[in-house]
Chain A
Amino acid sequence: MSTAGDITPGCPSGLSPAEESGVGDISAFVRRSAEGNALQLTVRGAKCAGCLSKIEKSVQALPGVTQARLNLSNGRFDVRWRGTLDANRIAETVSGLGYGVAPFSPDAADSAAKSEERKLLIAMAVAAFAAANVMLLSVSVWSGHGEMGETTRRVMHAISGAIALPAALFSGRIFFQSAWSVLRRGHANMDVPISLAVLLALGVSVAETIRGGEHAYFDAAVMLLFFLLIGRFLDARLRRRTHAAAHDLAALQARTVTRVEGAGARSVRADEIVPGDIVLVAPGERLVVDVDVIDGISEADESLVSGESLPRAIAPGARLFAGSINLTQPLRGRAIAAASDSLLADIARMLEAGEQRRSKYRRIADKAVSLYIPLVHTTAALTLLGWLLAGAGVRDALMIAVSTLIITCPCALALAAPVVQVVAAGRLFRKGVFLRSGDALERIAECDHIVFDKTGTLTLGEPELIRVEGDEALVQRAARLARASRHPLSRAVVSAAGAGQVAPHVKEHPGLGLEAEIDGVPCRLGSAEWTGAAPAAGTTQLQLWYSEGDHPAHPFMFEDALRPGAGDVVEELRARGISVEILSGDREDAVASIASALSVSDWKAGASPADKVARLEALRAEGRKVLMIGDGLNDAASLSLAHASLAPGGAMDVSQSASDGVYTGTGLGAILTMIEAAGLARRRMVENFSLAAVYNMIAVPIAVAGFATPLVAAIAMSGSSLIVTLNALRPGWKRR
């Protein structure tokens, strides 16, 4: 459709398709200050230098813009300007170029995570510097063994100490602080043996240097810290990236609210609404606060709230919950709660209960640590005792015990899980699956039963016209009326008909249908009674009737279509020995038809949020490990209660934050990808812990026997870390 000279919409390199997105009023997101106005947007679809210059230049050309800078890595677009430029014009300029755009409000958690990541990176750099330089000095000591004079060796050790001590104290404080805080509460985590090994190694080395001894473990201490910090840094970066991705998805839904103020109305951010405010809800707008309707008659799509796919008629006095979409006529409502408490109170409570239960989950790494700590510390203590009893001097016995602690250092153990998680989550990230928690993969791998929500999860969540042979002309004529409406059934008719004309003066009668006069013939599209047709008895299928003048009305039937490939996914899950169940809040026959299409025998319709929770409790009591997949507000509680949970990208943000992962795309293939990746990650983690165990089985006897010199410790430590990391990076065998 673009003529010569037009700029092609979207990424010029074709890496990403052009997006068309309606942006709401975003002026509420502008931060105003004395220096001017600032706005942060999230831009989707920008992939290359062409996008970058196109977007920045177009926005810079707007009057008053002083700065427009797009961050290509995370899609943040910073705009600053002076004067009266409307923020919406900026967003329109960007979306007019074919990019998706949404207002972005930075959250506190993100900036905290960012500074944490920066702290880890700097600590890692300091440890790397120290490890490299101390290793240089250590290598000369080792290779000069027997030839190097005592004074030279002493100087070498002293310089090593001067580098290693401050570096280890600086880089290691992350571990020391964490170890101290858990020790005070009487627990132990991985940081306890790490801190102990590092501090003991440093202490013994300082004593040896002063005494002029032969062995110093400065290199081992800083190298240990360096390896561990790599693991920590990767872990922190992954968590922040996935958090940011999930936050961006939620930002797409961040809508503003039109609040009535005196005689006028102003668009404000949802979090500015307080109970009692009067808000206007335009047709097609999704509610972000709970309201009591005080004026207007309309219909509402509550599929995200209750799972019900049929719109509900709304009249003054009705209560609408956040997540519902107003369909036909503007409504005026009184907010009954602030946006942040807009969820039903019991859902919030159930969410919390689920979270608490989940935090008790013991990860593989936790199990390994609880086995490892007592074992290693007992071994070291026994070594000390044994050598003392065997008649060795206190100094020698202590040296051997410390070298045992260092050589069993949990390097490989501390890298075993994080590296696998980073690799797996990175692969999933590129496929559009964002994990919200590190142990999600482990929990997903354990699941043997999947509970699906129906509306919006198994199905697209929007009705699709069932085509009958020879209805082409009728669909086209009905679409002339339907194009004027945002009702989901109208939109289904329009999407079946394609582009075309709109009839003039279409009137929409809430709860009834559409009416217009086309070429002097009154036409109606709506319910059976409204169009004068005899209502079909006994069918609860979604339907619309279309009548022209005195002709008998023609029915259109609709169904909530399955997502592409849903059947294959369910089939594949069964082949893997995972049972499938459907738990929906929708009507019985709607669920039954989907269940039979997928040949799922285990299904339940009309389930309230409490029913869903009860069902999950029952499954848990049976000892099943349930993976729950759902998108609605009514699923939020069960999502947080399940052993593991996933939510599609279009889900309510409550549901997204209640689940372990969010997947994007229309198909369900991401679920299989996720289960496959989780299984692989679990295998790799077990392999890695086994490798670490084997390594310790070889290294410990050597150390206990007193053969572990600093050289042996250095080789063993880096060797085991390398093996574990390489094993994590090894691509998985494709089954099938």
Chain B
Amino acid sequence: MEMLVFLIPVALLLGLTGLLSFIWAVRAGQFDDPDGAAARILIDEDRPADEPDK
């Protein structure tokens, strides 16, 4: 039972970290453009810009 003295605070701390990072993410606008974020990863930055599409 003494273990609880450590485990409960540790569990709460982990949960709180998750909550705070979520609140930060919402405030920072991380969820403003989910589609764009998913698409941007596919943009190949290394390709010369003037190369034709095909």
Report B-chain residues with C-beta under 8 Å of the C-beta of A72: 33, 35-36, 39
Q: Which residue of A lies closest to B43 (CB)?
A: A53
Q: Identify 24 residue pairs between A and B in the complex whose beta-carbon atoms are under 8 Å apart, listed by A's number.
A: A7-B52, A7-B53, A48-B39, A49-B39, A49-B40, A49-B42, A50-B53, A52-B39, A57-B49, A70-B36, A71-B32, A71-B33, A72-B39, A73-B33, A74-B33, A122-B23, A122-B26, A125-B19, A125-B22, A126-B19, A129-B16, A129-B18, A129-B19, A137-B8
Looking at the assembled complex, report how far the CB atom of A319 sits from the nearest CB atom of chain B, in whole angstroms: 45
Residues facing A in B6-40 (CB within 8 A) are 8, 11-12, 15-16, 18-19, 22-23, 26-27, 32-36, 39-40
CA distance in complex: A175, B8 (Å)? 30
CA distance in complex: A607, B16 (Å)? 65
A619 interface residue per 8 A CB criterion: no
CA distance in complex: A73, B36 (Å)? 6
Q: With contacts A48-B39, A73-B35 known, what are 15 further pairs, Cβ within 8 A?
A: A5-B52, A6-B52, A8-B53, A49-B40, A49-B42, A49-B43, A72-B39, A73-B36, A125-B19, A129-B15, A129-B16, A132-B15, A152-B4, A159-B12, A163-B12
Report A-chain residues with C-beta under 8 Å of the C-beta of B34: 73
Report A-chain residues with C-beta under 8 Å of the C-beta of B26: 118, 121-122, 125
A136 interface residue per 8 A CB criterion: yes
Q: Which residue of A lies closest to B18 (CB)?
A: A129
Looking at the assembled complex, report how far the CB atom of B38 sits from the nearest CB atom of chain A, in whole angstroms: 8
Minimum-distance CB pairs A-B, first 3: A72-B36, A49-B39, A49-B42
Looking at the assembled complex, report how far the CB atom of B9 sits from the nearest CB atom of chain A, in whole angstroms: 9
Q: Which residue of B lies closest to A5 (CB)?
A: B52
Chain A residues in the interface with B (C-beta under 8 A): 4-8, 12, 48-50, 52-53, 57, 61, 70-74, 118, 121-122, 125-126, 129, 132-133, 136-137, 152, 159, 163
Report A-chain residues with C-beta under 8 Å of the C-beta of B12: 133, 159, 163
Report B-chain residues with C-beta under 8 Å of the C-beta of A122: 23, 26
A52 touches which one: B11, B19, B43 (CB < 8 A)? B43
CA distance in complex: A57, B53 (Å)? 13
The binding surface of chain A is classed by DSSP as helix
CA distance in complex: A73, B38 (Å)? 10
Report B-chain residues with C-beta under 8 Å of the C-beta of A121: 26
Report B-chain residues with C-beta under 8 Å of the C-beta of A50: 53
Looking at the assembled complex, report how far the CB atom of B13 sits from the nearest CB atom of chain A, in whole angstroms: 11
Report B-chain residues with C-beta under 8 Å of the C-beta of A126: 19
Report B-chain residues with C-beta under 8 Å of the C-beta of A73: 32-36
Report B-chain residues with C-beta under 8 Å of the C-beta of A6: 52
Report B-chain residues with C-beta under 8 Å of the C-beta of A133: 11-12, 15
Given A159-B8, A163-B12, A52 and B40 contact (CB-CB distance below 8 Å): yes
Q: Are B18 and A71 closer than 8 Å at their CB atoms?
A: no
Q: Which residue of A lies closest to B39 (CB)?
A: A49
- How many positions in chain B have a CB within 8 Å of any CB in the partner chain? 26
Report A-chain residues with C-beta under 8 Å of the C-beta of B8: 137, 159
Report B-chain residues with C-beta under 8 Å of the C-beta of A125: 19, 22-23, 26
> Which among A8, A61, A73, A121 has the greatest number of chain B C-beta atoms within 10 A?
A73
Looking at the assembled complex, report how far the CB atom of B42 sits from the nearest CB atom of chain A, in whole angstroms: 4
Q: Are B32 and A12 closer than 8 Å at their CB atoms?
A: no
Q: Which residue of A lies closest to B23 (CB)?
A: A122
Q: Which residue of A lies closest to B36 (CB)?
A: A72
Report B-chain residues with C-beta under 8 Å of the C-beta of A57: 49
Q: Which residue of A lies closest to B42 (CB)?
A: A49
Looking at the assembled complex, report how far the CB atom of A128 sits from the nearest CB atom of chain B, in whole angstroms: 8
Q: Are B11 and A136 closer than 8 Å at their CB atoms?
A: yes
Q: Are B36 and A71 closer than 8 Å at their CB atoms?
A: yes
Report A-chain residues with C-beta under 8 Å of the C-beta of B40: 49, 52
Q: Which residue of A lies closest to B44 (CB)?
A: A53
Looking at the assembled complex, report how far the CB atom of B47 sits from the nearest CB atom of chain A, in whole angstroms: 9
Looking at the assembled complex, report how far the CB atom of B33 sits from the nearest CB atom of chain A, in whole angstroms: 4
CA distance in complex: A152, B1 (Å)? 9
Report A-chain residues with C-beta under 8 Å of the C-beta of B23: 122, 125
CA distance in complex: A132, B39 (Å)? 33
CA distance in complex: A424, B2 (Å)? 52
CA distance in complex: A57, B47 (Å)? 12
Q: Which residue of B lies closest to A48 (CB)?
A: B39
CA distance in complex: A8, B53 (Å)? 8
Report B-chain residues with C-beta under 8 Å of the C-beta of A8: 53
Looking at the assembled complex, report how far the CB atom of A136 sits from the nearest CB atom of chain B, in whole angstroms: 7
Report A-chain residues with C-beta under 8 Å of the C-beta of B16: 129
Looking at the assembled complex, report how far the CB atom of A156 sits from the nearest CB atom of chain B, in whole angstroms: 9
Looking at the assembled complex, report how far the CB atom of A219 sits from the nearest CB atom of chain B, in whole angstroms: 15
Looking at the assembled complex, report how far the CB atom of B37 sits from the nearest CB atom of chain A, in whole angstroms: 8
Looking at the assembled complex, report how far the CB atom of B48 sits from the nearest CB atom of chain A, in whole angstroms: 11
Report B-chain residues with C-beta under 8 Å of the C-beta of A49: 39-43
CA distance in complex: A622, B44 (Å)? 65
CA distance in complex: A159, B43 (Å)? 49
Looking at the assembled complex, report how far the CB atom of A1 sits from the nearest CB atom of chain B, in whole angstroms: 16
CA distance in complex: A159, B10 (Å)? 13
Report A-chain residues with C-beta under 8 Å of the C-beta of B15: 129, 132-133
Report B-chain residues with C-beta under 8 Å of the C-beta of A163: 12
Report B-chain residues with C-beta under 8 Å of the C-beta of A12: 53
CA distance in complex: A152, B5 (Å)? 11
Report A-chain residues with C-beta under 8 Å of the C-beta of B1: 152
Report A-chain residues with C-beta under 8 Å of the C-beta of B35: 72-73
Looking at the assembled complex, report how far the CB atom of B1 sits from the nearest CB atom of chain A, in whole angstroms: 6
Report B-chain residues with C-beta under 8 Å of the C-beta of A118: 26-27
CA distance in complex: A136, B8 (Å)? 10
Report B-chain residues with C-beta under 8 Å of the C-beta of A4: 52
Q: Which residue of B lies closest to A4 (CB)?
A: B52
CA distance in complex: A73, B31 (Å)? 10
Looking at the assembled complex, report how far the CB atom of B16 sits from the nearest CB atom of chain A, in whole angstroms: 7
Q: Which residue of B lies closest to A126 (CB)?
A: B19
Q: Which residue of A lies closest to B22 (CB)?
A: A125
CA distance in complex: A152, B4 (Å)? 10
CA distance in complex: A118, B42 (Å)? 29
Report A-chain residues with C-beta under 8 Å of the C-beta of B18: 129
CA distance in complex: A49, B44 (Å)? 10
CA distance in complex: A48, B35 (Å)? 9
Report A-chain residues with C-beta under 8 Å of the C-beta of B4: 152
Report B-chain residues with C-beta under 8 Å of the C-beta of A159: 8, 12
CA distance in complex: A122, B24 (Å)? 10
Report B-chain residues with C-beta under 8 Å of the C-beta of A152: 1, 4
Q: Which residue of A lies closest to B31 (CB)?
A: A121
Report B-chain residues with C-beta under 8 Å of the C-beta of A52: 36, 39-40, 43
CA distance in complex: A71, B27 (Å)? 17
CA distance in complex: A12, B33 (Å)? 20
CA distance in complex: A635, B22 (Å)? 47
Q: Which residue of A lies closest to B49 (CB)?
A: A57
CA distance in complex: A132, B43 (Å)? 39
Looking at the assembled complex, report how far the CB atom of B22 sits from the nearest CB atom of chain A, in whole angstroms: 5
